[in-house]
């Protein structure tokens, strides 16, 4: 009876290991560059929810957003970039912006961020920019 696999070596070759490490390094590089932009986006979404709760007037909402932006170091948008609409007397706050993240050399990643407090999920800021 012959035993299969005896005498054969099994494992990962050096070239296979190098390829896997290069791929994992590239993924880690992209993740490290994208995470701050995603974290800022989450901060903006939380800030518009708090701005909506702060008051019913547009100026009150903008001031609340400015205070929150200063605390959370939000630099991607300002209170002037918020789109405040009124549906049935209820104020809704929206925003939309692009973030360009340089990866290496002249290669960059462009991400479109948008958010709203509207329960329907329709972002008024996006509709406004596409109408221009």
Residue 64 pLDDT > 90, yes or no?
yes
Answer yes or no: is 99 within a domain. yes
Answer yes or no: is 41 within a domain. yes
- Is there a contact between 77 and 61 (Cβ–Cβ < 8 Å)? no
Domain coverage including residue 97: 34-131
Cβ within 8 Å of residue 123, ≥6 positions away: 94, 95, 96, 114, 115, 116
Per-chain mean pLDDT for the chain: 87
CA–chain centroid gap for 129, Å, is 19
Distance CA 116, CA 125 (A): 9
Mean local confidence (pLDDT), 67-81: 93
Distance CA 72, CA 33 (A): 19
96-111 tens-digit pLDDT: 999 999 988 899 999 9
6-52 tens-digit pLDDT: 667 778 889 999 999 999 999 999 999 999 999 999 999 999 999 99
Residue 124 pLDDT > 80, yes or no?
no
Answer yes or no: is 1 within a domain. no
Cβ within 8 Å of residue 77, ≥6 positions away: 44, 95, 97
Residue 11: the pLDDT is 81
Answer yes or no: is 2 within a domain. no
Q: Give the residue with greater pLDDT, 36 vs 90.
A: 36
Answer yes or no: is 17 within a domain. no
Residue 126: the pLDDT is 66
Answer yes or no: is 76 within a domain. yes
**What is the count of structural domains for the chain?**
1
Answer yes or no: is 8 within a domain. no
- Is there a contact between 35 and 101 (Cβ–Cβ < 8 Å)? no
Answer yes or no: is 28 within a domain. no
Mean local confidence (pLDDT), 68-84: 93
């Amino acid at each position: 009876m012959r035993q299969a696999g005896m005498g054969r070596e099994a494992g990962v070759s050096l070239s296979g290991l190098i390829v896997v490490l290069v791929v994992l390094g590239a993924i880690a590089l992209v993740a490290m560059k994208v995470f701050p932009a995603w974290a800022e986006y989450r901060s903006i979404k939380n800030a518009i929810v708090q701005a909506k709760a702060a008051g019913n007037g547009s100026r009150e909402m903008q001031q609340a957003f400015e205070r929150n932006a200063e605390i959370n170091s939000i630099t991607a948008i300002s209170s002037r970039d918020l789109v405040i609409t009124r549906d049935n007397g209820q104020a809704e706050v929206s925003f939309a912006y692009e973030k360009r993240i340089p990866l290496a050399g002249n290669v960059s990643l462009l991400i479109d961020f948008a958010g709203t407090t509207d329960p329907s999920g329709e972002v008024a800021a996006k509709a406004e920019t596409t109408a221009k």
